[in-house]
Structure 1
Amino acid sequence: MKSIPISLTCLLALAGCQVIPDRLPQAEPAPAAACYFPANHERALETSVEVLTEWGFILNSTDTALGLISASRERALHGYYDPYDDAYGYGRGMRVFGGLGIGRGSGVGFGIGSSFGGGVGQQPLEVERVSLLVDDTHIRISRDIRRFDHWGDLRESYSASNDDFCQRFQTRFTQTVPATGRPL
């Protein structure tokens, strides 16, 4: 009989410990009811693009056949506190690495390095992404916000499809409806 290596036994034991999620990922919190509203004129796609660009969004992609618009905007977060920055006791905005090694014989080595503040010229950043699905009669808005620290690591991400943003978009959308746009 062949013996099974201990590493293979451990691997098989750990594979049995994996858990399958009980549900698929979904947006939490769910999008607000105001993020789905009627758009009853023929230039809804163009008007939506006008509103987004007026608000400082940059178009990432569009598909007019599907009625899909994807846009984003970025802003620097001056003074943004990174809740994970002090996780290892190095202090806010300071990273210190070092080590001490003793080798065979009479060799001893010592090294230390440090970095104060963020990366050169880098600021914490907030990226806001908006997706619109425009069909013949309605518009659906999906929005999320991601925050990155001064190292470029993702620190916060959440769904921001809330009443405030969607109602402001809907109000501006109805104000921007062109005079030539006739109801369907």
Structure 2
Amino acid sequence: MKSIPLTLACAVLLAGCQVTPDRLPQAEPLPAASCHFPYAADDALKHSVDVLTEWGFKLDNSDTALGLVSASRARELHGYYDPYDNAYGYGRGFRLFGGYGVARHGGIGVGFGTGIGQIPTEVERVSILASDDYLRITRDIRRFDHLGDMRESYTASNDDFCQRFAQALPRATNPNLGERR
């Protein structure tokens, strides 16, 4: 009888400990109920784009056949620091000598730079779907550090934003839905 190498035995034991997720990933927190509201207008997407551009968003994508619009805006985060950025022991947000690495085929790479002149950024993305006399708004926010690495990401489809957006739209009427408030 052959003996099983210790590493193979450990690998088999660890493979038996894997757990499959009990549900599929989903946006957390869930979008607020106010982010799905009736809006019956022939040019609902045009009104939505007008509001977004007025608020400083730039149109990224649109598909009028699907009734979909995506827009984003970015702002610099002066004074932002990442509480998890202490990887090199030099203090928060400071990397003195960049990084180094060894390539697969024996090469060595060295990078220099501290990220000076690059400012942390927050990118806010909004998507609007217009269908069946309703608008659905989804919004997410991502924050990038001074090196361009994403440090935070979360859904921001909250009551405040969606209610302000609905109030900024021109009034629309539809005999089936009544007048929107």
Query: Given the two structures, how large is their TM-score scaled by the length of structure 1?
Result: 0.78
Distance in 1 (CA, whole Å) between partners of 2:40 and 2:132 is: 7
- 1:76 paired with 2:76, answer yes
SS of structure 2 residue aligned to 1:12? helix
Letter in structure 1 aligned against 2:131 = D
Q: Is the 8 A contact 2:85 2:92 kept in 1?
A: yes
Shift of 1:148: 0.9
SS of structure 2 residue aligned to 1:34? helix
Distance in 2 (CA, whole Å) between partners of 1:66 and 1:50 is: 18
Choose from 122, 126, 130 the match for 2:126. 130
Letter in structure 1 aligned against 2:127 = S
Distance in 1 (CA, whole Å) between partners of 2:123 and 2:164 is: 19
- 1:63 paired with 2:63, answer yes
Shift of 1:83: 0.9
- Aligned twin of 2:48: 48
Distance in 1 (CA, whole Å) between partners of 2:94 and 2:139 is: 34
Aligned-pair identity (%): 67
Q: What do residues 79-123 of structure 1 show as CA deviations (whole Å, max 9, x unaligned)?
A: 1121113465421233356xxxxxxxxxxxxxxx996xx513211
- Aligned twin of 1:108: none
- 1:169 paired with 2:134, answer no
Shift of 1:183: 3.9
Q: Is the 8 A contact 2:51 2:169 kept in 1?
A: yes
- 1:149 paired with 2:161, answer no
RMSD, matched Cα: 2.3
Letter in structure 1 aligned against 2:26 = Q
Distance in 2 (CA, whole Å) between partners of 1:27 and 1:167 is: 20
Distance in 2 (CA, whole Å) between partners of 1:127 and 1:151 is: 15
- Aligned twin of 1:26: 26
Shift of 1:2: 5.1
- Aligned twin of 2:95: 95
Structure 2: segments with no counterpart, 5+ residues: 98-110, 176-181
Question: Larger Rg: 1 or 2?
Answer: 1
SS of structure 2 residue aligned to 1:144? strand
SS of structure 1 residue aligned to 2:95? strand
Letter in structure 2 aligned against 1:92 = R
Q: Is the 8 A contact 1:40 1:183 kept in 2?
A: yes
- Aligned twin of 1:8: 8
Shift of 1:48: 0.8
Q: How many residues align?
A: 162
Shift of 1:160: 0.5
Letter in structure 2 aligned against 1:156 = E
SS of structure 2 residue aligned to 1:133? strand
Query: Given the two structures, how large is their TM-score scaled by the length of structure 2?
Result: 0.79
Distance in 2 (CA, whole Å) between partners of 1:72 and 1:114 is: 32
Shift of 1:3: 4.8
Letter in structure 2 aligned against 1:133 = L
